[in-house]
Amino acid sequence: MNFLVPAFLAGLAALAIPIAMHLRHREKGQPVRFPSLMFLEQLAIRTSKRQRITDWPLLALRALALALLVLAFARPFAVGNAAQQGAEAERAVVVLLDRSLSMGHADVWPAALDSARRIVRELGPNDRAALVLFDEDAEVAQPLTTDRTTLDALLAGATPGTRGTRYVSALRVARSVLLDAPSVPAEVVVITDLQRSGVAGLVGLELPARVTVRAVSVAATDRGNVSLAGVDVRRVADAERTRLAVQARVMARDLDAPRTVNARLEIDGRASGEQPVQLPVDGERLVSFEPVPLPAGRVRGRIVLDSDRLAADDTFHFALAGEDALPVVLLASDDAQRNETLFTERALVIGRAPTVRVTRTRPGALDASAVRDAGLVFVWDTPLSASETGALDAFVTAGGGAVVVVGRRLAEQGASVPLGVVTVDGTADRFADRGGSFGELRTDHPLFAAFRESPGALTGARFLRYARAVPTAGSDVLARFDDGLPAVLESRRGAGRVITLLAPLDTRTGDLPLQPAFLPLLRRLVLYGSGHEAAPLWQESGQTWALPRALREVVVTTPSGDLLRPAATDSLGAAVPLTERGIYAAYQGVVSGDPSLTVAVNAPATESDLTPVDARELLVGVAIAETDGTAAAGPGTEVEREKRQGWWRWLLGLAVLLLLAETLLANRGWRARAARLTVATGSPTGTEKALP
């Protein structure tokens, strides 16, 4: 037996009230006046002080009624009976086992498995349990079942992964699992190290009222950890060849004392350097390795630290292209134009990562073979034939880029502009006002984003003559001259883009090549026009690797050695989910030779912080739905069990009946009957007088 409001049991002390009333009762004699005592016999009367209970039935009724009132207000319910019902009734238990990277700590994962096995052993004979493994996503390893052997086997085969923690995905999957048991009490048990980064996104989650959630913390007591937080790789050119300069960031958290660890660099599987790192108790240190020769082809590297209790974050992978060259085809009419293209050609080859490799082509030689390996085609003020236009159009539609420079030849000859982005209507001469300038720039566009803070670097250039053009439908004007005429336009064609320049890039009709902004502008023009974005050195697990649409029949090798064949659509390339740490490689057709693309995958840096949060934060922002009447009888909470039993109503009714019986007994007992004494009055009629 248990009570919902046990404080009311203090009212049992009121039982002393009726007992005290009974014990304080006194027999009081009333004197009766007689004219004479001569005719009465004198008897000796012995009196004593009487202080004892004389009416036990009435006292028992009053005390029992009062006790029943106190018990009714204390709201009793049967614990033993509810527990027995709970043992016989069915429950649904969902075990959420965290398998994120931080759970791979040497002290954490064994404790997590032991906790999960203990929960399985404590299940009742009719209870059903489910197992959900989660990190950033959640996977139902076993739906609700009564088979304890299957659950134990799944726990034996579970291993920590390489991804981050996200509790909201696990709770959502648990809610869907419980749809298979809509009318039984349910419990969700989260076994985790309570990673702080995992509580994001819980606001707005709603759970049924019949579901209770509790967390089993298996956080490590020794949270000291050393991890690799990032890497920086630079290409360094010397007189002989290009070298790689690698620098890593090493992070220390909650160490018991400063320590020294060794960091080793490996390039394409070969040891390429080792450096000691002196670490503080908390903080970051940079470690730089001696530059190593840049290998041919794509580079796969990693940095390895001395292992600690969490070994999964002691290795950091990175990948980059070897030479990383961007082929550009420059289409110019004849050798006489070399003076016009001189500044542009020299500006294109300046810079690295990527390096630009320019191939000059004469009109009439532009075909599919000329642009097969190109990333961008530069059409320099030259009309194209029908076949050249078809080859260029196919190249751009397939994902390539084109930059069309409209100069005096296309403007004066009235020739059609390649790819038909604009319609030319003569030239605009600005000799009278000493040249025009850029009047409007879209600095929010990626092409001009570098000049957002200093647009004057471009608006200071002067142009004496430029083409007067009208944009065609579908063209987006990115810059205008100060007279309102378009200066730079962009249009999309298939998967590629076409950029049309009406601003002169030579020194005969403008001074833009002499401005400091010329080099960064031209480089952004090539990189944006070709769609070339610097590939990141690594990505985090849980992200998606988007492959270019140009790759067909892609075969991807995973770090574990599995082969994937992701499907591509007509508008988008294939996408590969990154679920493992290490190097992914993409091949076209067959897995042989140097891969077309590579990507390195590392665990999220937040997983290296082992500081746990309060378990109560798991339910911060989680809404509890109103009871919908689907919950069946079962053990449940104390409030639910008390409401189902409702003993207080019966106790209150019985107390009322006892009080009624007490009233009847008090009115009919010996205390209700007056003791009558019959005496002679001396009246001749012989009347009698009753005395109390």
Q: Residue 107 and residue 84: Cα distance in Å, rounded?
A: 37
> What mean pLDDT do residues 48-67 have?
71
With residue 141 as reference, give the H or E element that holds it. Answer: strand 138-145
> What mean pLDDT do residues 223-249 have?
86
Is residue 428 very low, low, confident or very high in pLDDT (cuts 50, 70, 90)?
Answer: confident
The single-letter code of the amino acid at 680 is: A
pLDDT at residue 652 is higher than 90: no
CB 325 within 8 A of CB 357: yes
The predicted pLDDT at position 679 comes to 43
Q: Is beta strand 376-380 parallel, antiparallel or unpaired with respect to 325-331?
A: parallel
Buried b (16+ CB within 10 A) or exposed e, 125-145: eebbbbbbbbbbebebbbebe
The predicted pLDDT at position 17 comes to 75
The predicted pLDDT at position 202 comes to 79
Tokens of 628: 């919908």
Give the pLDDT confidence of 247-300 residue by residue, as tens digits: 999 999 999 999 999 999 999 999 999 999 999 999 999 999 999 988 888 899
Q: Is beta strand 575-577 parallel, antiparallel or unpaired with respect to 623-624?
A: unpaired
Q: Residue 499 and residue 397: Cα distance in Å, rounded?
A: 14
Q: Residue 31 and residue 505: Cα distance in Å, rounded?
A: 139
Tokens of 209: 């009222």
Give the pLDDT confidence of 389-426 residue by residue, as tens digits: 888 888 888 888 899 888 888 877 666 777 777 888 88
Q: Residue 192 and residue 170: Cα distance in Å, rounded?
A: 11
> What mean pLDDT do residues 219-227 have?
91
With residue 498 as reference, give the H or E element that holds it. Answer: strand 496-501
Which are the contacts of 429, defined by CB distance < 8 A and separation ≥ 6? 464, 465
pLDDT at residue 653 is higher than 90: no
DSSP-assigned letter for residue 249:
E
Buried b (16+ CB within 10 A) or exposed e, 261-279: bebbbbbeeeebbebebeb
The predicted pLDDT at position 266 comes to 94
Instruction: Give the angle 300-298-529 at the CA atoms, nearest 5°.
Output: 125
CB 644 within 8 A of CB 633: yes
Q: Residue 116 and residue 99: Cα distance in Å, rounded?
A: 12
pLDDT at residue 12 is higher than 80: no
Question: Is the preceding peptide bond at 455 cis, omega within 30 degrees of 0?
Answer: no
> What mean pLDDT do residues 498-524 have?
88
The predicted pLDDT at position 626 comes to 56
CB 101 within 8 A of CB 163: yes
Nearest to 494 by CA among 399, 359, 629: 399
> What mean pLDDT do residues 563-591 have?
84
Among all chains, which residue has been given the structure tokens 């751009």? 396
Instruction: Give the up-direction half-sphere exposure of residue 676: CA atoms within 13 A in the CB hemisphere.
Output: 6
Number of residues that this document lists for the chain:
692
Q: Burial level of 558, CB count in 10 A (0-12/13-18/19+)?
A: middle
The predicted pLDDT at position 241 comes to 76
> What mean pLDDT do residues 121-135 have?
92
Give the pLDDT confidence of 69-83 residue by residue, as tens digits: 888 887 787 765 444
The predicted pLDDT at position 642 comes to 67
Q: Residue 403 and residue 56: Cα distance in Å, rounded?
A: 113
> What mean pLDDT do residues 205-219 have?
87
Q: Residue 447 and residue 512: Cα distance in Å, rounded?
A: 16
Domains, in order of start, for the chain: 2-82+644-680 (no CATH), 90-222+611-632 (3.40.50.410), 225-321 (2.60.40.10), 325-530 (3.40.50.880), 539-602 (2.60.40.10)
The predicted pLDDT at position 677 comes to 41
pLDDT at residue 88 is higher than 80: no
Nearest to 495 by CA among 393, 418, 596, 589: 393
The predicted pLDDT at position 230 comes to 92
With residue 273 as reference, give the H or E element that holds it. Answer: strand 270-279
The secondary structure of 39-90, three-state, reads CCCCCCCCCCCCCCCCCHHHHHHHHHHHHHHHHHHCCEECHHHHHHHHHHCC
The predicted pLDDT at position 633 comes to 37
pLDDT at residue 515 is higher than 80: yes
The predicted pLDDT at position 43 comes to 67
Give the pLDDT confidence of 145-183 residue by residue, as tens digits: 999 999 999 999 999 988 889 999 999 999 999 988 877
| Highest mean pLDDT, choosing among 35-39, 311-315, 414-418, 473-477 | 311-315
Tokens of 536: 């990141």
pLDDT at residue 142 is higher than 90: yes
The predicted pLDDT at position 306 comes to 93
Which are the contacts of 237, defined by CB distance < 8 A and separation ≥ 6? 243, 352
pLDDT at residue 87 is higher than 50: no
> What mean pLDDT is reported for the chain?
82
> What mean pLDDT do residues 124-136 have?
92
Is residue 570 very low, low, confident or very high in pLDDT (cuts 50, 70, 90)?
Answer: low
pLDDT at residue 110 is higher than 60: yes
CB 436 within 8 A of CB 466: yes
Among 273-282, 502-511, 556-565, the minimum mean pLDDT is found in 502-511
Q: Helix, strand or coil for residue 659? A: helix
Other CB atoms within a 10 A radius of the CB of residue 540 amount to 19
What is the distance, to the nearest Å, from the Cα of residue 58 to the centroid of all Cα atoms in its chain? 70
Give the pLDDT confidence of 591-641 residue by residue, as tens digits: 888 888 899 999 898 899 998 888 877 777 677 665 443 333 344 556 666
Determine what percent of the chain is predicted with pLDDT higher than 90: 28
CB 383 within 8 A of CB 416: yes
The predicted pLDDT at position 82 comes to 43
Among all chains, which residue has been given the structure tokens 């590579």? 598
Would the CA dihedral through 394, 395, 397, 401 be positive or negative?
A: negative
Q: Residue 167 and residue 192: Cα distance in Å, rounded?
A: 9
The predicted pLDDT at position 686 comes to 43
Give the pLDDT confidence of 344-392 residue by residue, as tens digits: 888 888 876 677 888 888 888 888 888 887 888 988 888 888 888 888 8
CB 343 within 8 A of CB 513: yes
Q: Residue 550 and residue 546: Cα distance in Å, rounded?
A: 12
Among 212-221, 326-335, 406-415, the minimum mean pLDDT is found in 406-415
